[in-house]
Amino acid sequence: MKHAAWAGVALVSIGLGGTGLSERPGAALSPALSRQLDADLAAVVNAQGHELASLSVLAVRNGQVVYHRQFGHKWIDTAAPSSCKSADGNTMYRIASISKLVTTLGVMKLVEAGRLELDRDLGDYLGFPFRNPHFPGVPVTLRMMLTHTSSLRDDAGYYWDAQSNTHLKEICVPGGKRYGEGAMWAKNAPPGRYFQYANLPWGVIGTVMERVTGERFDRLMRRLILDPMRLPGGFHPADFSRADLDNVATLYRKRKEVAGQEVWDGKGPWIAQVDDYVTSAPVQRALPDYEVGTNGTLFGPQGNCRLSAVGLGKLMLMLMNGGTSDGRRILRKSSVDLMLKVNWRVDGKDATGNSDGESGFGQQKKLMNAWALGAQHFLDHTGNSTGDRLVESGGFKAVGHLGDAWGLTSAMVFDRTSRNGFIFLVGGSAFDPETYPGTYSAFSRHEEQIMTALHRRAILQRMD
């Protein structure tokens, strides 16, 4: 079917019932506040020249869900407008790098079980020496991987498909047939001494998880986290039911490649980027003869998870509640505390080293100032190219993760002390986000507007 320009993105109001979010829903916002927040977010979605394909949001106040809405469409076909599919409370998105936080939950389960140790040489798990050849005397550990201080880089890639029949040893060990010039290893500082956001460490983490359990990463994550929390979705859409596939949002942008160059056309058609499961089937990422524990990049531990705002909301509440969900123990409280404790700061106070000051998102904005295990701490620093401030008024320090890939931008952030937090998932933009900078932070302006509206109306409950 033809994907074409579509004007007028509708709001979809979804109640908390029937979405699977059974943690105690709080008192709903007053009708006036709810209408105002609906209007605020609809204005962002429909802003002329800055339209969004879809938006799903959820806000938690005092540990209770108070607002949950969807706007726009999870699948767009304006050649036949009646065929467009509205986003709703069950709509799942490819949550991009928020997947790293989800993967970390699985790591912590294996740490609890004694299968993994955060400070052990990863080579012990992988079955081959895993050292930065420029600093061969320094072991690389899970803690370093989870805090982006491992000295691994994305410069040589971070995903190898099933057809490549790749073993990570061939990529990361000098002399391996895919090692090349060794661009995956930093030369400027040894492991544990320098922060640089990267995706490759998470493929290695997924491989380690496979090695110690004998289970494929995507299925292991279902067993450890997703099934106990009764969350649809996961890391491998080819294994989804038809009903779950129907709930996955297609990600869009109004951009295309022309002669190797990125060309945006805000008046042009929405162009599907990934997850168009209306017109094509999902890719089977593993061949039948895949050897578990050789190439965990296959299943995208760094960015391939599909979850809804409701699913992320359940994960957020579980972490707020010290590891319990609907009365079931998912993680020990000590594991949650360990996971969310700051391990690295850009100012060096709690760090083992320095940083390139860049986040790895977008145009390498200086967005990351502190890091826990698989989660970012937002310190409320302001500045339109360097700030990690989440909301315009300031004062909201949080922990969580961001996502940015294939048109999606997203955030899952919360404060464990106040038990306040929010989630947003944008299904694509009609504009290049780099051309729409924020006014008080390194976020794009539409992200600032969404987060500020959720904080002001749903958490502070202010009408002004």
Using DSSP, state whether 86 is helix, strand or coil: strand
Average pLDDT over residues 181-199: 94
CA 339 – CA 147 distance, rounded (Å): 10
User: Tens digits of per-residue pLDDT, 93-143?
Assistant: 999 999 999 999 999 999 999 999 999 999 999 999 999 999 999 999 999
C-alpha dist (Å) from residue 429 to 22, 50, 79, 208: 31, 7, 19, 36
Q: Is the pLDDT of residue 10 over 60?
A: no
Average pLDDT, whole number, for the chain? 91
User: Tens digits of per-residue pLDDT, 438-455?
Assistant: 999 999 999 999 999 999
In this prediction, residue 360 carries a pLDDT of 46
pLDDT over 70 percentage in the chain: 90
Please give the structure tokens belonging to residue 415. Answer: 């404060």
Which has more pLDDT, 201 or 78?
Answer: 201
User: Tens digits of per-residue pLDDT, 355-397?
Assistant: 765 544 444 457 888 999 999 999 999 877 778 999 999 999 9
- The C-alpha angle 144, 148, 152, rounded to 5 degrees, equals 85
CA 10 – CA 419 distance, rounded (Å): 31
Question: Of 396, 333, 392, 400, which Cα lies nearest the Cα of 370?
Answer: 400
Taking 3-state DSSP, the helix, strand and coil percentages for the chain, each rounded to the nearest 5, stand at 25, 20, 55
CA 397 – CA 455 distance, rounded (Å): 12
Classify residue 214 by burial, with Cβ atoms within 10 Å: 0-12, 13-18, 19+: exposed
pLDDT band (50, 70, 90) for residue 4 = very low
CATH 1.20.1640 fits 11-97+237-279+305-459, yes or no: no
User: Tens digits of per-residue pLDDT, 223-238?
Assistant: 999 999 999 999 999 9
Strand partners, 306: 94, 234
